Chain A
């Protein structure tokens, strides 16, 4: 049975078990400490700080590819599951309650934001690549704008030629009023990320409805325009998905560094105003 599991499945099961085990142990130790009237908040606090520093090192590893510091995928696994354990330590440290002071709020909000953005990042990284496969060939992010410009140029040339070739301005008009702007820049990012396809359907219906007003040459042009609209839509999907896969890091990483600074301030203050048995 175990042999049929993939390496990724086994890895996920092992890492989850490790984190759950560690969290259970942590809770048990906390309860034991409370029962024996020991205050271990400094222990959990410093553990949390150490964990977050460790997690932040992943970003450093990514920037030093020239050294044999282990594979980035192993680092990412440690980062993900270490992050979940950090949440357990955070809950233990804060008593799983809401913050009640300005500094606590200042710490609580970025921690939760880092956790949410990290979780979102994992979800996006696991889901969007698969979805992108259903939306045309994978384009390099830096080349999407060039490809979009090529499509726009071809669509414009078709529209211009349609007036000359068919003796009708129907297609040219439609292009000018509806398609010109559509081809110029990325569209429907939110719809793409939520999987909504209504905009494409609507556009294709509009193009389809024009067929009755044009001749055989016009049909050909409309068919090609329809293909270009679909290609552009796939390109927009690629752009939206790849942007999302980049943007979450712009939230996650700065917040994590900010959090580290705040934790350091918190530690200094906590030790400065430490109240203990005299």
Chain B
């Protein structure tokens, strides 16, 4: 007896174009615009032609003078090309207006009704005739800067005009916007979402080089303007400093080159390229631009992990300050290694000594300590920077847990296995728990298999529709169930196995299948941090034993505070 099924047409990549109203004339206009007109259509296969990509992954946005195009700190994955008019780029200016409202939360009674409305069948969906596209920044309506004249007068701005491109830093590095962009005149911009940019870069090396060059140049300036170490410098000095800085890539392109967690670590660190070696002269200040780095101390035949660095952290500052104050060479106390890929900026010591250190506020300088860790047995050493026990630091780095901003951490000394967290998760997700209360553990700390909402969310890279995306303001990673086509790319990309593909059913529990092939229709599912629910993540609130917390593992202080609670 065959199982009863409901058949539909399998969802496809371009079922939901970025702008369903984009006309053929608009597509032709975009294709003749700067950047796009330089692309060679012959490099694109028939099934994924250049006009197809533009038609489905681009749109034309129109702005009036003073309109906010992107906001610094927001998450976005689009690049923009100016079709007409001009925009102003403002660094470090955070207007009050234009902030997106927090994700709408359901009313109290609606939440209560969920108790009896939850489906008895697993993974049921209501099939809607038209799926809802992912909402990006410019979908939220017009955000307007009323006093643009004053803002421009008081802040340093960069003017971009016809043919210029912006937004590539966030698109390529999956990081928040580094600047606010405001329309200087009435203007038209082509907005190309990440999926389109990814395909164009893959097919056209010239565009790839162009975008990458912009990324390197601008991210350097953006990083300098973000760093408190350089905040006291005037614009001219920053420009001088920027000229002397070297941008370097280390390690493999992705944090997880094989798509999986590294094999059992033997402590050799052979797969982690050395960037700066302990004992060598301190020639530069190293600023972490993207990715993660391991700080190590050589010990006998191995290397002890002293800590880890992430975006905006610096390496070698203490040595540079000692060197500058003592007027003699000071060797590096630690080594620095790339974990996966790593982008760094090297600021030469002479530049630091000439421009930065003489005028830097004292409170920004690191405390100069003479503590000698070598007098403590290795198995008793705490991480000098974080206060986390050494073996736990090793575990967090080896398992790449440091990538998580909302890791589900369980204290095994307090977890009774009551499963209230799992039940709460199911109750808030139509009866379907979105995590497994199991995962890698070290001593009394377990990292459960729940989406960690990573700093570097590699699951976002390959999604053909943009269904998996970051929340605009919080940066949390969500899946738009309506536009997920069930390809499984994100699930395969997640090295932690925290995205689960499920077969969906209709409200009666009947499996939904593809009309043509008969195969089950699938969707990607994962923890969404109870977005829209009242009170935040239900798992954390449901634990009666104070055993579960969602922690930002890229911030060691959060874990330390929790461990010592």
* B387 CB, nearest partner CB in chain A, Å: 14
B420 within 8 A of A: yes
Please state if A129 and B534 are interface contacts (CB–CB under 8 Å): no
Please state if B418 and A245 are interface contacts (CB–CB under 8 Å): yes
Bound CA–CA A7/B109 (angstroms): 35
Segment touching B, from A58-66, A90-98, A190-198: A58-66
* B450 CB, nearest partner CB in chain A, Å: 14
Most B CB atoms within 10 A — which of A75, A128, A137, A138? A138
Can you list, as one digit per residue, whether each of B510-539 has a CB less than 8 Å from chain A (1) or not (0)?
A: 000000000000000000000001110010
Can you list, as one digit per residue, whether each of A3-39 has a CB less than 8 Å from chain B (1) or not (0)?
A: 0001110000000000000000000000000000000
Please state if B428 and A66 are interface contacts (CB–CB under 8 Å): yes
A251 within 8 A of B: no
Please state if B538 and A66 are interface contacts (CB–CB under 8 Å): yes
Please state if B428 and A8 are interface contacts (CB–CB under 8 Å): no
Please state if B115 and A64 are interface contacts (CB–CB under 8 Å): yes
Interface size classification for chain B: 35 or more
Please state if A65 and B542 are interface contacts (CB–CB under 8 Å): yes
Residues of A63-82 whose CB lies within 8 A of B: 64-73, 75-76
Q: Knowing A66-B533, A137-B441, A140-B437 are in contact, say whether A72-B115 is a contact too (CB < 8 A).
A: no
A199 within 8 A of B: no
Contact residues of A: prevailing secondary structure: helix
B446 within 8 A of A: yes
Residues of B within 8 A of A246 (CB): 418
* A246 CB, nearest partner CB in chain B, Å: 8
B414 within 8 A of A: yes
Please state if B542 and A66 are interface contacts (CB–CB under 8 Å): no
Residues of B within 8 A of A73 (CB): 543-546
B374 within 8 A of A: no
Residue of A nearest to B438 (CB): A140
Please state if B438 and A138 are interface contacts (CB–CB under 8 Å): yes
Bound CA–CA A70/B540 (angstroms): 11
Please state if A129 and B414 are interface contacts (CB–CB under 8 Å): yes
A256 within 8 A of B: no
B112 within 8 A of A: yes
Residue of B nearest to A244 (CB): B416
Please state if A66 and B416 are interface contacts (CB–CB under 8 Å): no
Bound CA–CA A15/B446 (angstroms): 29
Bound CA–CA A53/B141 (angstroms): 50
* B320 CB, nearest partner CB in chain A, Å: 33
B145 within 8 A of A: no
A203 within 8 A of B: no
B413 within 8 A of A: yes
Residue of B nearest to A130 (CB): B413
Q: Knowing A65-B427, A66-B112 are in contact, say whether A138-B420 is a contact too (CB < 8 A).
A: no
B564 within 8 A of A: yes
Please state if A72 and B438 are interface contacts (CB–CB under 8 Å): no
Residues of A within 8 A of B420 (CB): 62, 65, 72
A180 within 8 A of B: no
Please state if B542 and A62 are interface contacts (CB–CB under 8 Å): yes
* A41 CB, nearest partner CB in chain B, Å: 34
A185 within 8 A of B: no
B40 within 8 A of A: no
A133 within 8 A of B: yes
Residues of B within 8 A of A71 (CB): 540-541, 543
Residue of A nearest to B439 (CB): A138
Please state if A132 and B545 are interface contacts (CB–CB under 8 Å): no
A125 within 8 A of B: yes
Q: Knowing A72-B542, A133-B412, A133-B444 are in contact, say whether A67-B535 is a contact too (CB < 8 A).
A: yes
Residue of A nearest to B413 (CB): A130
* B187 CB, nearest partner CB in chain A, Å: 44
Q: Knowing A7-B565, A62-B542, A73-B545 are in contact, say whether A67-B416 is a contact too (CB < 8 A).
A: no
Please state if A65 and B416 are interface contacts (CB–CB under 8 Å): no
Residues of A within 8 A of B544 (CB): 62, 72-73, 75-76
Q: Knowing A67-B111, A67-B534 are in contact, say whether A138-B543 is a contact too (CB < 8 A).
A: no
Residue of B nearest to A238 (CB): B417
Please state if B427 and A66 are interface contacts (CB–CB under 8 Å): yes
Bound CA–CA A28/B366 (angstroms): 58
* B353 CB, nearest partner CB in chain A, Å: 39
A141 within 8 A of B: yes
B424 within 8 A of A: yes
Bound CA–CA A126/B416 (angstroms): 8
Residue of B nearest to A139 (CB): B438
Residues of B111-127 whose CB lies within 8 A of A: 111-112, 114-115
Residue of A nearest to B534 (CB): A68
Residues of A within 8 A of B414 (CB): 126, 129
B215 within 8 A of A: no
A188 within 8 A of B: no
Bound CA–CA A65/B436 (angstroms): 18
Residues of A115-158 whose CB lies within 8 A of B: 124-126, 128-130, 132-133, 137-138, 140-141
Bound CA–CA A133/B415 (angstroms): 11
Bound CA–CA A76/B418 (angstroms): 13
* B427 CB, nearest partner CB in chain A, Å: 5
Residues of B within 8 A of A62 (CB): 420, 542, 544
19 contacts between A and B (CB under 8 A): A6-B565, A62-B420, A66-B533, A66-B538, A67-B112, A67-B535, A68-B534, A70-B541, A72-B420, A72-B541, A72-B542, A73-B543, A75-B544, A128-B416, A129-B413, A129-B415, A137-B441, A138-B441, A141-B419
Given contacts A69-B535, A138-B441, 17 further A-B contacts (CB under 8 A): A62-B542, A65-B423, A65-B541, A66-B112, A66-B114, A67-B535, A71-B543, A72-B542, A73-B543, A76-B545, A124-B416, A125-B416, A125-B545, A130-B444, A133-B443, A138-B412, A138-B417
Residues of chain A having any CB pair with chain B under 8 Å: 6-8, 62, 64-73, 75-76, 124-126, 128-130, 132-133, 137-138, 140-141, 242, 245-246
